[in-house]
Amino acid sequence: MRQTIRLGRIAGIPVGVHWSVLVIMLLLADGLAATVLPAAAPRQTVTAYWVAGAATAGAFLACLLAHELAHAFVARHYGITVRRITLWLLGGVSELDGEPPTPRADLLIALAGPVTSVACGALAAGGAVAAQAAGLGRLAVAGLLWLATINAVLAAFNLLPGAPLDGGRVLRAIVWRVRGSRAAGARAAAYTGGLLGTLLVAAGFLEVVLARNVSGIWLALVGLFLSWAAGAEQRTTAVTELLTGATVADIVHTVPVCGYENQTVEAFVRSVASRSSHRQFPVVTIDGRVLGTVSLRGLAQVPAPARATVRLDTLAVPVRGDQLLHTDQALTDALRVTATGRLIPVVDPAGNLAGVLDSADLARTVELAALGIPPGAGDDRPDVDAEPPPRIGLG
């Protein structure tokens, strides 16, 4: 089962929804149709409640998407590429390919989402007033008022000053501006995010125990998520500080193990793959440009009799630009790419293969940096794919 369902593109940005959103939307529509709308607009048909509930839930999903698009558009304004937008259980996330260049950019990107939620809420409230004046019925008014309220709540919650909420990003930008350090801002936001998560867990627990209200479980779950996300933010900040100033060239394997486009599977396996510790390999053209990658698993799917004639260029999986690293790229950028666990081709300014990098290389670099050894300074280990030294006989 695919985790994310792709909806398409908006202004060139891929948009998808996690399967959990569909479950939440169904539960939300059910709650609106069974409880909220009947209380606000009694004596309507069951069908009317369900239609209004589904429409209101769908409008709320559109508001969540607008919230994320606002983040994305402001990020683009500051030259940051937006990889994708994904809506999921607790809202949405805009995946940015890079960090804001200044505290001001960080602040405006963070505020764009809550401001949009407030605008959506105001639009819904205005729609409720207009619906009432036009005599469209209490059901339409009730749905619009609920939409206005939930957007206001969403904006207020997102502005709480703790990572990974938008308010945490606002706090990061302010501390960054005052202290002149992005890392200091990130640490402050992560700390308050962890504290906020703990408070929400405690509040949810007390709501269940003292008020006998099971909705406290949801509050506690949100708190647990915030605590986990804040911890992840702290770890990422610590790693980023260790790698600041280093480039990919500092740790890349400059003698890459690769295949050539005109090599057959049999020749490549015999001369390269069987002598390497890697499971995935870049495939390059004759002039050194990266064509794609092949894996041992993919090569094994080629029938044995055909391996002597099938060439690597027919099997290579194309590599997108965001799946490559450049020698002059900041090493912190490699954190995102190597998180996939795959071997990442590294290219030089001319676009030719300069080496390879994987998550193990980066993990080793981080651990050495924590011991005071800067990236690349301790990298005098022998290449695992190089020819072994000759054996010396003992008689």
Q: What is the DSSP string of 15-47?
A: EEEEHHHHHHHHHHHHHIIIIIHHHHS-S--HH
Tally of CB atoms within 10 A around 89: 14
Dihedral sign, Cα of residue 233, residue 238, residue 244, residue 249: negative
Distance from C-alpha of 85 to C-alpha of 58, rounded to nearest angstrom: 17
pLDDT of residue 340: 56
Residue 48's closest CA among 121, 124, 146, 137? 137
More confidently predicted of 333 and 69: 69
Instruction: Name the percent of the chain lying above pLDDT 70.
Output: 91
The answer on pLDDT for 343 being more than 80 is no
Distance from C-alpha of 119 to C-alpha of 306, rounded to nearest angstrom: 62
- Residue 68 annotated among the catalytic residues of the structure: yes
Q: Average pLDDT, stretch 171-190?
A: 94
Helix axes 216-243, 182-210, angle to 10 degrees: 160
Residue 253, marked binder = no
DSSP bridge pairs for 311: 264
272 SS3 class: coil
CATH number of 248-370: 3.10.580.10
For residue 279, how far is the Cα from the chain centroid?
25
The residue written with tokens 């709501």 in the block is 207
pTM summary value: 0.76
The answer on pLDDT for 379 being more than 70 is no
More confidently predicted of 250 and 51: 51
Residues 6 or more apart from 245 whose CB is under 8 A from it?
none
The answer on pLDDT for 394 being more than 50 is no
Dihedral sign, Cα of residue 248, residue 277, residue 301, residue 259: positive
pLDDT of residue 339: 56
pLDDT of residue 255: 64
Residue 203's closest CA among 192, 218, 219? 219
Q: Average pLDDT, stretch 383-390?
A: 45
For residue 41, what are its two tokens?
Answer: 């607009």
The answer on pLDDT for 119 being more than 80 is yes
Q: Average pLDDT, stretch 25-43?
A: 92
